[in-house]
Amino acid sequence: MLLLPGAERERRALLLGAALLISWVLALWPQPAVDEAMRGAAHRYGAPIARGAGWLEAWLRAGGSAPASPAPERTLEAVERAAALPPPLSGGLVWIEVPVRERDPSAGELLLAAGSRLGLGEGMVVACGPHYVGRIVGVTADAALVRGVSAADERTGVAVEGAEAVGECIAIGRGRQGSPVLNWIAAGGEPEEDGREVSFRGRGSDPPALAALGLRIGRAVRQGDAARGDLVWAIEGAWPAAAEGRVCVAAGALPAEPVHAPELLRASAPPRLAADGVFGTQASCWEAPTGFPPAALLRSGRIVGPVIVTGGGAAWVRMDPPAAWGAAAVAVGRERFTRGGGGIPRGLWIGREGDAPPGAGAAEFVRLPAAARPQP
């Protein structure tokens, strides 16, 4: 097609404008599959450049890494183990200590790292220290699903202390919609004021020794407006922090072998690039492992940060200092540990407030393998 120079210029401007518009649309509304393919290509074919840049960066920064922090005095596991043990049981029952694999506090559910192979079964009561956590509603060979008082439509027998007598009621969970509400068995049993303690009463089929423990659940509070007819009594209270890491299950006998924390997927992580070309020391690039998608990077026994991007044989890690972990960390004194979730195991040492991310030592990628979720 023969076009005059002016028309040809217009045609090119239109084509270029359309291409630029598409790139802007893809930049502002990213499509994961397209981004992944383009990033994979750039990291695969650009790997020699990235390795050269990494070598240059390491050569220019020689001897500049931060000194290693001394190891923490206590691990999160030791702290949680001490906090998780409930009062002793009688009547032939024992507590089995089980690590938690995954948690969903808003749904009121926990996934335990042990199942029927270690003697756990449906209906068993789960506690953490003097607190009631929930009941096992589904098991596989290596996992157990626990539903707490707040899980949707979960019904739990509870006792509410009153000034003179103890009111018996059923707590009905509402899941993500809100706190569990109290359904009074006997009319007129409501407490006189907010803040009365709610404890576990159990079912008729539960051993009396369990109900006798009086495991705590929370406090009874009024919600809604009596004038509008929507006044309800609800339970205010959350699981203790330690219940996100370790709980105890009431069982008839101890398992033949102790319950271990789930085995982690690990792979060595050769460095590719110590800094990001746009964000500097906020991110670093490593050779990605084959076989599993890494969740976090460990170096010298400390966690460096979460993996934010993978593709083309590279894995980018965000270099988070301990203070940047926020709600994703658990504090034990000055020490910070990972809270777990998103494939990152719980209890990995982050460091102390004010520490820089670890800059030297052998590095490895870790991931908590996913487990089959039992059906209730």
Binding interface with other proteins (CB under 8 A): 5, 9, 12, 16, 19-20, 23-24, 26-28, 30, 34-35, 38-39, 42-43, 45-47, 49-50, 52-54, 56-57, 60-61, 273-283, 285, 306, 308-309, 316, 318, 320
Q: CB atoms < 10 A from the CB of 349, how many? A: 22
Give least dist CB 120 to other proteins, A: 37
Phi (first) and psi of residue 320, to 5 degrees: -90, 125
CB of 311 to other proteins, least distance (A): 10
Q: What CA–CA distance (Å, rounded) separates 182 from 197?
A: 12
Given the complex with other proteins, which of 18 and 362 has the nearer CB atom? 18
Residue 21 has which token pair? 């518009």
Which helix or strand (DSSP H or E) is residue 316 part of? strand 314-318
Between 236 and 276, CB nearer to other proteins: 276
Residue among 245 and 312 whose Cβ is closer to other proteins: 312
Minimum CB separation from other proteins for residue 326, in Å?
11
Task: Quote the least distance from Cβ 302 to other proteins, whole Å.
Answer: 19
The residue (of 20 and 82) whose beta carbon lies closer to other proteins is 20
Point out which residues pair with 181 in neighbouring strands: 172, 234
Q: Please, how many CA atoms are within 13 Å of residue 3, restricted to the half-sphere of its CB?
A: 9
What residue spans of 160-296 are helical by DSSP H? 208-212
Rounded to the nearest whole angstrom, what is the least distance from the CB of residue 51 to other proteins in the complex? 9
Least gap, CB of 319 to other proteins (angstroms): 10
Asked if residues 365 and 267 have their Cβ atoms less than 8 Å apart, the reply is yes
The answer to whether the CB of 323 falls within 8 A of the CB of 353 is yes
Pick the closer one to other proteins by CB: 33 or 187: 33
Closer residue to other proteins (CB): 26 or 238: 26
Name the one residue in this structure whose structure tokens are 């398992």: 255
Q: Which is nearer to other proteins, 245 or 359 (CB)?
A: 359
Q: Tell me the closest approach of the beta carbon of residue 358 to other proteins, in angstroms.
A: 16
Question: What gap in Å lies between CA 336 and CA 354, rounded to an integer?
Answer: 11
User: If residue 10 lies in a helix (H) or strand (E), which one and from where to where?
Assistant: helix 5-28
d(CA 284, CA 271): 8
